[in-house]
Amino acid sequence: MNRALSNITDINSLKRETKLESDRGEVLRVAAQGGDLHTILNMLCEKSEAYNPAMQSSVLLLNEKQSTLHPIASVSLPQSYCDALEGVTIGVGVGSCGTAAYTKKRVIVEDINTHPYWAQYKGLALGAGLQACWSEPIIGADHRVFGTFAMYFDTPKKPSQDDIEFIEASANLAAVIFENDQARQKLVDANHKLSQTVDERNEQLQAANIELSHFLKQQAIDNRHTVNSEKAVTTRMLIMGVAHEINTPLGIALTATSYSNDLVEKFIAHINEGKLTKLNALKSLQGISDSLSLASDNLGRTSGLISKFKEIDSSISADLEQSFNMDDFLKELEHEVSASTKGCRLKFEADEGITCHSRISLLQVFNHLVENSVVHGFDGKGGVISIHVTKGETGLHINYQDDGKGLTEEQRVQVFEPFFSTQRTSGNIGLGLNVVNNIICNVFKGEMNIIDSPVGLRYHIHFP
């Protein structure tokens, strides 16, 4: 009896494998006949889901220049979920596919609800009824990453060895499809170029060289003018901003001091005239005390503003401390900012063995970013702040993200400018991100960019 059941199981398994190979052969035939890339990849997803009905699959296309993912094929995933993935920038911790495309390695997430890679996006997935996601990078023969092939499930799920072999084979088949499409496009382009005569090409080249020469000369002149103009405008804005911010507390302090002098003169006059009573004395002394306190508070505010302005010159905070371990640093940072981020969830992670320099400067950077998330992103309410630090071939990569309200397009253009703040009425003068950007550029010789994200605000920081 057991042998008979085993034979039936073997026969069913053989039928499924035979059907799978037949379906893959059909996909390859359509690709060889020059079918549309989108149609072929949709067929691959359809055949995959026919083999495993419990699965939903998708293919995301990688834009190498922009480092962004774009849905290109899916037959059963909700359209709203696919639309939300449009233009997501790859990186560690950006779901399964964003991480797989960035690391060029398979990513298995058995439970989306608990895995750190889905911390910022699990709401999208769970809302679409997805609880597990396995993603395989689609890598060509020249090690180019074309995108990712993903398998989703509506319950938490751990892959079997057959599942691993299936997703790997599906991604390899997708790579063949991409390379075939690429080769076909190259052939079309080559045939088009061959249709041009040698004389036409030479004439075009000469004209282009002349035009390029004129353009480069003019661009060099324009760049010099632009740089000088920008420096003048920036300096003028900074001077005007400093004057405006300091003038208000200084004016209040001067007024309070003048009022105190008037009270002192009246007090002395009352003494000389013999009109000083206990009530008048107490009233005058209280007025003097209040005025001096007001003057002291505003002078203290002025001093604080001057300290803020000094931070703009990031070379002041460029400490030459010995290198330190990034993982230990992030643990200390998490402990330090926990008091000011009550109600927020902090997820700070770094790859093992990463070291960095200028500890005080980096601490200043993260303190400003965390404060900015709490005050501007969450409006003082709770949220999630994530920091992922990785080391690549070109240096250190820091992915900072919160799930707050984000920025408008207009705000994104101005966010690194001095004195720009979305909370001016709350006493924020708008120097935090300008200071952060100066430190990253001048102390670490790096760069900081705002990255498109479907949730909250995301920065990518790179140190060479």
- pLDDT at position 430, please? 55
Task: Round to whole Å and give the CA distance between 118 and 115.
Answer: 6
Q: What is the pLDDT of residue 314?
A: 45
pLDDT tens digit string along 302-354?
665 566 555 545 444 445 556 889 898 888 888 878 777 777 888 889 998 89
Q: Strands 107-109 and 132-139: what pairing?
A: antiparallel
Nearest to 149 by CA among 106, 92, 205: 106
Res 146 pLDDT > 80: yes
Q: What is the pLDDT of residue 183?
A: 85
Q: What is the mean pLDDT of the chain?
A: 80
Task: With residue 350 as reference, give the H or E element that holds it.
Answer: strand 345-350
With beta carbons less than 8 A apart as the criterion, state whether 260 and 288 touch: yes
Q: How many CB atoms lie within 10 A of CB 152?
A: 26
379: tokens are: 């409006």
CA 44 to chain centre: 32
The secondary structure element, H or E, covering residue 400 is strand 395-402
pLDDT band at 34 (very low <50, low <70, confident <90, very high): confident
**Out of 61-65, 220-224, 255-259, 452-456, which region has the weakest mean confidence (pLDDT)?**
220-224
Site of tokens 């059941």: 5
Model confidence pLDDT, tens digit, residues 394-453: 889 999 999 988 888 888 877 777 766 655 545 555 566 787 888 888 888 899 998 888
Percentage of residues in the chain having pLDDT higher than 70: 76
Distance of CA 20 to the CA centre of its chain: 40
Read off the pLDDT of each residue in 289-303 and give the average, rounded to a whole number. Answer: 70
- Is residue 131 within 8 A of residue 151, CB to CB? The reply is no
Contacts of 330 (CB under 8 A, 6+ apart): 348, 349, 350, 387, 389
Supply the DSSP symbol for 321: P
Q: List the alpha helices (DSSP H) in 142-197.
A: 161-194
Q: What is the mean pLDDT of residues 219-227?
A: 60
SS3 366: helix
- Residues 265-275 have a mean pLDDT of 76
The tokens of 172 are what?
């390899």
What's the pLDDT band for 360 if we cut at 50, 70, 90? confident
